[in-house]
Amino acid sequence: MVKAIYPGSFDPPTKGHVDIVTRACALFEKITMGVYDAPPKDILFSTRERVELLQEAVSHLPNVEVRPFSGLVVHLAHQVGAKVVVRGLRPGYDFDYEFEMALMNRKLDPDIEIVVLMSALEYQFISSSRIKEVAQLGGNVEDFVPKNVLPALKAKLQAPVSQTGGKVSSKWISAV
């Protein structure tokens, strides 16, 4: 059986991510979820927090491990002996983005194969940013995030900027 990695920002992990890795589990011997430490977007949770949230959210899946990574996705694949990069695909915008990323990753390492799983119907319209926005405005996001993420999200959005370790974007933090 083949090993795979599933890289992402996971800020925070969503039920959409858990759905993808759960389905990927049936296809691969082992899956390493790589939490990218420096995504080019406004981040709410530190890398350590994202790793911990994800570890708890997928702790019921025996062949999944979670680790932080920096640098290229293809280097992470080499480090863990994986030949496949798993990604989830939602309708619309995701296709061009994923296609471009897949081509670049194949160019960087032609031995790597990209496997894309279609997002489950109920999670096609969610993203981590949308969830943060709705939660920040007081909306209920419990249908979209794993159980352990909900309290973490609430606590983080209410924390003063000084308690975020200074690494996360103040965009998401409400002043108290």
Residue 51 CB, shortest distance to ligand COA, in Å, is 13
| Active-site entry in 9, 46, 119, 128 | 128
Nearer to ligand COA, 79 or 127 (CB): 127
**Site for ligand COA, rule CB under 6 A:** 7-11, 14, 16-17, 20, 36, 39, 41, 72-73, 88, 101, 104-105, 119, 123, 126-129
Residue 39 CB, shortest distance to ligand COA, in Å, is 5
User: Cβ-closest residue to ligand COA?
Assistant: 16
| Active-site entry in 30, 90, 106, 130 | 90
Q: Tell me the three-class secondary structure of the chain, residue by residue.
A: CCEEEEEECCCCCCHHHHHHHHHHHCCCCEEEEEEECCCCCCCCCCHHHHHHHHHHHCCCCCCEEEEEECCCHHHHHHHHCCCEEEEEECCCCHHHHHHHHHHHHHHHCCCCEEEEEECCHHHCCCCHHHHHHHHHCCCCCCCCCCCCHHHHHHHHHHCCHHHCCCCCCHHHCCCC
Instruction: Tell me, yes or no, if 41 is annotated catalytic.
Output: yes
Instruction: Tell me, yes or no, if 128 is annotated catalytic.
Output: yes
Residue 123 CB, shortest distance to ligand COA, in Å, is 4
Nearer to ligand COA, 74 or 164 (CB): 74
User: Annotated active-site positions, please?
Assistant: 17, 41, 90, 128
